[in-house]
Amino acid sequence: MKRTLLLLRKDALVLRRSPLLLAILLAYPLAIAILVGLVASYASAKPRVALVDEDNLPPTVVIGGHRFHVDRTIEQVSKNVKLVHLSSEQAAQQLKTGKVVAVVTVPPGFIATLKEMVRSPKLEVELSQGTISSRVEQQVQALVYSLNRKLQRAYIGTNLHYVTLILNGGTGSLLGQQFNVLGMAKSERLLRSMPQTPRVRKLEDFIHDARLALANTGDAMRSLANPIGLQRTDSRGRTWVLSANVQAYALALTITFLTLMLAAGSLAAERDENVIGRLARGLVGLGHLVWAKVALAAAVALVLGLAIATAFGVIIEVGGVTGGEPWHRLPLLVLGLLLAGGSLGALGALLGALAREARSASLVALLVVLPIVFLGLIPSEIVPPAGWASSLLPFTHAFQLFRSALFDLSPWGEVAKQALWLLVLGGIFGALACRGARRLLA
């Protein structure tokens, strides 16, 4: 253990004396954190959408006896997108130049058609051809869905008003015409006061059945309007998936690249410096040498990982990204970083032992790391063999551990499972590296 620590201390000193490598080690995670932070901020930013009002929307509009506040509705939409009022020409120009990602046009006669409650008026939507267009389309669809729900309630209320009029009687209006309705209740009472002939009793029975049926009209209409209801419940899943995935991938990607190359290069460098023989002649076992590189990789992963998480956290806090950074989870991340760094370091040491020369080892590590990462990015549900192969490499487990440690509401089970995977893989790769390190003596 003491010898491993001595070598680790030496490696840290060597690392400190390698300005280029140190600069890369410092700049790389910082660049990744900034990029990832910007991606997360961009993902949560409100897209700019033009609203072309060709119908001169009033502040409020009454439909089916219900008052709708147009201003409030627009404000509601603005929670998801930034609506800007533009003329048709301005909107077309800005869509062309990418200043707005969509144009929503309220055509002339929209409100009048809406008030008629006979035909469905149409909103016109024009989208840009960008990656974000699908998201804007979803936002517009959500807006129309929300408006339709409100209108449905208004239409149902209006129709139910007529039903109530038929049931109870009274004064109603349709297309500006006033009229009086006797109503079923009064009709029933009128029939009861008449001589009870078989024909009158038949009419009484019909009116009784009709009243019962009409009493359920409201529920039936609501059910027809929304055959399937959507009830939101609080989930125990991830607090916000996008940021979780982005940050976990950034951590796993950076650590995989750097620790793999660092461990591979530094083990092979012992041979390049010609000290491997000096160490191996009883001063330090090859196992000590390998585990020193594993410890170095774990230490570097810890420092870099925490730097990325901190920088990322600051960026998304400043950017006001929904959910914020789960700062209280950083201690759990420490465990993940150490295990991931160690496991990847063991794999790197194995590559270093096989390659034998620092330059070759770094190149081999670079060539190996790309397929490892790509395999980890392929969803195992889509390509099962990729999932199997990926489960035998540390990247996927590191990613899943980071995601779970930072964002799962109940992370313990997943963290324990992935930690065990990393531990086992690290042990296997480390043992193979110890065996392979004998090649360095040749």
Partner 1 sequence: MSSEQPLLAARGVGRRFGQTTALEPVELEILPGDALALVGPNGAGKSTLLALLAGALEPSTGGIDRRKGVRVGWAPQRPAQYGRLSARENLELFARLEGEAEPEEAAAQLLRDFDLPGKASPSADLSVGNRQRLNLAIAFLGRPEVLLLDEPTAALDPEQRRRLWERTTALPEAGGAFAFATQNLDEIERFADRVAVLRDGRLIFTGGIDEYDRTQTDTLFA
Phi and psi at residue 188, in whole multiples of 5°? -65, -45
Residues 422-441 that bind partner 1 (CB under 8 A): 438, 441
Measured from the CB atom, the residue of 362 and 396 that comes closer to partner 1 is: 362
Specify the stretch interacting with partner 1 by CB under 8 A; choose among 2-10, 22-30, 296-304, 330-338: 2-10
Q: How far is the CB of 287 from partner 1 (least distance, A)?
A: 15
70 forms part of the interface with partner 1 (CB under 8 A):
no
Residues 334-393 that bind partner 1 (CB under 8 A): none
3 forms part of the interface with partner 1 (CB under 8 A):
yes
Site string for partner 1, 274-303 (x = CB under 8 A): xx-xxxxxxxx-------------------
Site string for partner 1, 48-67 (x = CB under 8 A): --------------------
Residues 257-276 that bind partner 1 (CB under 8 A): 273-275
Measured from the CB atom, the residue of 20 and 382 that comes closer to partner 1 is: 20
115 forms part of the interface with partner 1 (CB under 8 A):
no
46 forms part of the interface with partner 1 (CB under 8 A):
no
Site string for partner 1, 177-206 (x = CB under 8 A): ------------------------------
Measured from the CB atom, the residue of 150 and 438 that comes closer to partner 1 is: 438
17 forms part of the interface with partner 1 (CB under 8 A):
yes
**Interface residues toward partner 1, by CB under 8 A:** 3, 6, 10, 13-14, 17-18, 273-275, 277-284, 438, 441-442
